Amino acid sequence: MRMTNTPRTATEDDAGPMAGMLARAFEDDPMMRWLFPGGSTRPAALDRYFTILLTRQYLPYGVCERTEHAAALWVPPEAQDKAVPDEGTIHELTELLGDRAEPFRCSVEAAAANAPQEPHWYLAVLGADPAVQGRGQGSALLRSGLAEADEAGLPAYLECSKEANLPFYGHHGFEVLEEVRLPANGPALWVMRRAPRRPAAG
């Protein structure tokens, strides 16, 4: 099967396909398994979860790119205040998460407490369909976003919730700053930073 690894800007029409891709990509993620413990209901719940985030936060305010089978959701520094979940987003997520809403709130607060103070590009989500993982689609999207951060002379940050992915991000220049254990018996998050590869012009 021939695939293209060329990133393109996502539109509202891409929300459904991207949510499905990300649901499959994160089905075995420790944090998603913690938030959505029901194995049989997790795929549909994750699809809805990513649909909410895409339509209410990242497509309107972030920088969203996709390839055929992967998606990346970035938040540039000028959009970080706008990308904070509004009341409508919180309401939808609370309904979806049910009794897991409180652990989710705690995890968001824990991540926010470790948020960098310096201007930066934030990689909120990166995922590839498991059927094509290892074929360069995620790397292509990561390089595209990092090029934007480099052009601005800014670092990039992310929180990795799957230890097996640390070498992948390390290969692209990210370094672990801190390991954060989420409350309520939650999994670990690794806060990672990548320094800009070249300064901003001028």
CATH of the domain at 79: 3.40.630.30
Residue 199 resides in a domain: no
Q: What is the DSSP string of 67-136?
A: -SSEEEEEE-GGGTTTTS--HHHHHHHHHHHGGGHHHHHHHHHHHHHT--SS--EEEEEEEE-GGGTTSS
Q: Average the pLDDT over 27-37 and give the result.
A: 94
With respect to residue 202, please indicate whether it lies within any of the assigned structural domains. no
Within-domain flag for 16: yes
CB-count burial class (<10 Å; 0-12, 13-18, 19+) for 147: exposed
53-57, 61-65, 85-89, 186-190: least confident range: 85-89
* 169: Cα separation from own chain's centroid: 13
Count of domains observed in the chain:
1
State the residue range of the domain holding 173.
Answer: 9-194
Task: Taking residues 35-45, report their average pLDDT.
Answer: 91
High-pLDDT (> 70) share of the chain, % = 96
What would the two tokens of residue 52 be?
């909410």
Reading the block at residue 24, the tokens are 């499959």
Any domain includes 2 = no
Tell me: the pLDDT tens digits for 142-169? 999 999 999 999 999 999 999 999 999 9
Residue 98, token pair as written in the block: 């049910």
Flag whether 100 is in a domain: yes
Given a contact cutoff of 8 angstroms between Cβ atoms, the answer to whether 9 and 65 are in contact is: yes
Hey, what are 13's tokens? Answer: 């029409």
**Residues paired with 65 in a beta bridge:** 9, 72
In the predicted structure, residue 22 carries a pLDDT above the cut 80: yes
Is residue 137 in a domain?
A: yes
Does the residue 26 lie in any domain? Answer: yes
201 is a domain residue: no
